[in-house]
């Protein structure tokens, strides 16, 4: 991962209930400092002069309490702990609820080259939003060569070798009313290690597709904004491969195969491509089947259970109908 | 595996036309060819992949290939960079 600096934190393009509303009030030199630890420290203990185990590399968040304490220190002219605190390589300091720190503190931060940021949010709300944003940034990431589409609400990641028809399949799915998240290179992020979030790599160039023979097309302009989506959880993996008559393809669908990506298990379906097999429709059915499974109805399993029941009842009946048996 | 480091020498960087040139060249080879920039690694046979790398003037990229014709593939692509994609 590229180094994530304080400037990158201010620059984050987060909307509505995710926005951090940060601005820099002092210590512009410190904007280049790198954030290495996706966690927050409330520096109450530090201000009181206790420096053991001081997590200085974390983001320092000053809430109402810390600010009141700072004001008291300044009134008593006992700022030595504050000066000592800024002698550490702090990643940055953030003041919540639009509080502007005193001139003295800003001067200390300026001299130490540590950025002082301000937000209008309350400390607890800011903490939640910041943790969410940092978790996202520091999440394990992987870029893969694939297409991500949303089919009937299921995030379907289509993979396969170059030229097997991933983009063409996705295009037909879009044409049938489904949505494109990313074509060609998909960024996968493991969220809390529990699920995979997929998105495009570049928002400015996103939602374009390259179709051999047509060139580059803009999906949102051609099919409308309803045909695109920024990110989606990956819930199903479709692996396209050229039909191989020697290979053994799954005929029942009772054995649930999964593939591990970034330590997350994703259901996997291998689809052989051959003339006469309409891949987009197969993917639609696979997505609907996946939804059914989530609702607790497993088509193949249910079918097998019914066959077993039927054979059982036939057995029971034959007991009575077999004339040679003596009761 | 064969690897080579190249620098972008044309002012405009890799935009659509150079990207198409790279893909066309890469597709002539059997080998799996990749281009790396920072932490991004993309398939050199994918045009959108190359464009979204956002490789601008003076970026340093790593070309790597694996396969039977890996030597030729890497040198053919490196040559495109050397010739500034026939641009200024």
* A39: its two tokens: 């966690």
A133 shares its domain with A110: yes
A302: in domain: no
Question: Among all residues of A, which ones are annotated catalytic?
Answer: 145, 166, 184, 251
A64 shares its domain with A186: no
A310: in domain: no
Q: Do B49 and A145 touch (CB under 8 A)?
A: yes
Q: Beta A59-62 vs A92-95: how paired, if at all? A: parallel
Q: Which residue of A has its CA nearest to B40?
A: A143
Q: Do B40 and A143 touch (CB under 8 A)?
A: yes
Q: Measured on CA atoms in the order A74, A76, A77, A79, is the torsion positive or negative?
A: negative
Residues of B in contact with A184 (CB under 8 A): 46, 48-49, 52
For residue B83, give how far its alpha carbon lies from the nearest alpha carbon of chain A (Å): 25
A18 shares its domain with A158: no
Q: Do B48 and A143 touch (CB under 8 A)?
A: no
Q: Do A185 and B54 touch (CB under 8 A)?
A: no
B38, B46, B54 ranked by CB distance to A184: nearest? B46
* B81: its two tokens: 């960079």
Domain boundary among A92, A121, A137: A137
Angle between helices A64-75 and A103-112 (to 10 degrees): 100
pLDDT of residue A213: 87
Tell whether A216 lies on the interface with B, counting CB pairs under 8 A: yes
SS3 percent helix, strand, coil of chain A, rounded to 5, is 35, 25, 35
A84: in domain: yes
A127 shares its domain with A147: no
Number of domains composing chain B: 1
Q: Environment class of residue A30 by beta-carbon count within 10 Å: exposed (0-12), middle (13-18) or buried (19+)? A: buried
A71: in domain: yes
pLDDT of residue A126: 92
Q: Do A185 and B42 touch (CB under 8 A)?
A: yes
Query: How many cross-chain Cβ pairs, A to B, lie less than 8 Å apart?
Result: 38
Q: With bands split at pLDDT 50, 70 and 90, how would you rate the model's confidence at A324? A: low
A99 shares its domain with A188: no
Q: Which residue of B has its CA nearest to A182?
A: B48
A196: in domain: yes
pLDDT of residue A174: 95
Rounded to the nearest 5°, which phi and psi values hold at B79?
A: -65, -35
Number of domains composing chain A: 2
B43, B46, B51 ranked by CB distance to A205: nearest? B51
Distance from C-alpha of B9 to C-alpha of B23, rounded to nearest angstrom: 18
Residue pLDDT, tens place only, A100-153: 888 888 889 888 889 999 999 999 999 999 998 888 888 888 888 899 999 999
A268: in domain: yes
A101 shares its domain with A156: no
For residue B52, give how far its alpha carbon lies from the nearest alpha carbon of chain A (Å): 6
A301: in domain: no
Q: With bands split at pLDDT 50, 70 and 90, how would you rate the model's confidence at A326? A: low
A33 shares its domain with A102: yes
A114 shares its domain with A199: no
Q: Please check whether residue A288 is in contact with residue A153, taking contact to mean a CB–CB distance below 8 angstroms.
A: no
Distance from C-alpha of A257 to C-alpha of A146, rounded to nearest angstrom: 19
Q: What is the pTM of this model?
A: 0.77
What mean pLDDT is predicted for residues A282-299?
90
A144 shares its domain with A291: yes
Distance, CA of B15 to chain centre: 12
Complex-level ipTM beyond the 0.95 threshold: no
Cross-strand bridge partners of residue B37? B40
Q: Do B48 and A184 touch (CB under 8 A)?
A: yes
Range of the domain at B48: 2-86
A193: in domain: yes
Tell whether A209 lies on the interface with B, counting CB pairs under 8 A: yes
A26 shares its domain with A168: no
Q: Do A210 and B38 touch (CB under 8 A)?
A: no
Looking up residue B16, the CATH number of its domain turns out to be 3.30.1340.10
Residue A61: which H helix or E strand, with range?
strand A59-62
A173 shares its domain with A242: yes
Q: What is the CA radius of gyration of chain B?
A: 11
To the nearest whole number, what is the mean pLDDT of chain A? Answer: 88
Range of the domain at A282: 139-296
Domain boundary among A137, A166, A185: A137
Residue pLDDT, tens place only, B4-57: 999 999 888 888 889 989 999 998 999 999 999 887 888 898 888 888 888 888
Q: Do B51 and A2 touch (CB under 8 A)?
A: no
Residue pLDDT, tens place only, A197-247: 999 887 777 888 888 888 889 999 999 999 999 999 999 999 998 888 777
Other Cβ atoms less than 10 A from the Cβ of A51: the count is 13
For residue B53, give how far its alpha carbon lies from the nearest alpha carbon of chain A (Å): 9
A148 shares its domain with A64: no
Residue of A1 and A156 predicted with greater confidence: A156
Residues of B in contact with A143 (CB under 8 A): 40-42
B42, B47, B54 ranked by CB distance to A210: nearest? B47
């Amino acid at each position: 991962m590229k180094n994530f600096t304080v400037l990158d934190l201010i620059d984050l393009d987060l909307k509505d209930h995710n926005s951090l509303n940060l601005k820099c009030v002092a210590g512009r030199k410190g904007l280049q400092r790198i954030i290495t630890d996706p966690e927050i420290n409330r520096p109450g203990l530090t201000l009181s002069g206790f420096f053991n185990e001081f997590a200085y590399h974390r983001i320092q968040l000053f809430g109402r309490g810390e600010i009141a304490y700072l004001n008291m220190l300044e009134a008593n002219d006992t700022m030595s702990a504050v000066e000592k605190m800024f002698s550490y390589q702090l990643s940055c300091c953030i003041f919540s609820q639009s509080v502007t720190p005193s001139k003295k503190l800003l001067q200390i931060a300026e001299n130490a080259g540590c950025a002082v940021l301000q937000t209008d949010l309350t400390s607890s709300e800011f903490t939640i939003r910041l943790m969410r944003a940092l978790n996202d940034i520091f999440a394990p990431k992987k870029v893969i060569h694939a297409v991500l589409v949303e089919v009937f609400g299921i995030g379907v990641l289509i993979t396969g070798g170059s030229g097997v028809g991933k983009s063409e399949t996705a295009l037909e799915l879009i044409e049938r009313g489904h949505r494109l998240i990313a074509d060609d290179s998909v960024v996968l992020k493991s969220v809390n290690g529990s699920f995979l979030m997929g998105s495009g790599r570049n928002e400015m160039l996103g939602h374009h597709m390259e179709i051999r023979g047509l060139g580059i097309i803009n999906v949102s302009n051609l099919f409308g904004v309803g045909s695109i989506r920024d990110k989606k959880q990956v819930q199903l993996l479709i692996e396209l491969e050229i039909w191989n008559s020697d290979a053994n393809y799954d005929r029942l669908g009772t054995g649930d195969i999964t593939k591990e990506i970034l330590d997350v298990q994703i259901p996997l379906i291998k689809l052989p491509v051959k003339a006469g097999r309409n891949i987009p429709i197969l993917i639609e059915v696979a997505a609907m089947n996946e939804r059914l499974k989530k609702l607790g109805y497993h088509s193949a399993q249910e079918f097998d259970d019914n066959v077993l029941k039927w054979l059982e009842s036939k057995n029971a009946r034959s007991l009575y109908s077999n004339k040679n048996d003596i009761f | 595996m064969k690897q080579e480091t190249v620098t972008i020498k044309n002012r405009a960087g890799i935009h659509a036309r150079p990207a198409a040139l790279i893909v066309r060249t890469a597709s002539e080879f059997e080998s799996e060819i990749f281009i790396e920039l920072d932490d991004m690694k993309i398939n050199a046979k994918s045009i959108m992949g190359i464009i979204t790398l956002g490789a601008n003037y003076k970026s340093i990229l790593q070309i790597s290939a694996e396969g039977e014709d890996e030597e030729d593939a890497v040198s053919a692509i490196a040559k495109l960079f050397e010739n500034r994609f026939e641009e200024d």
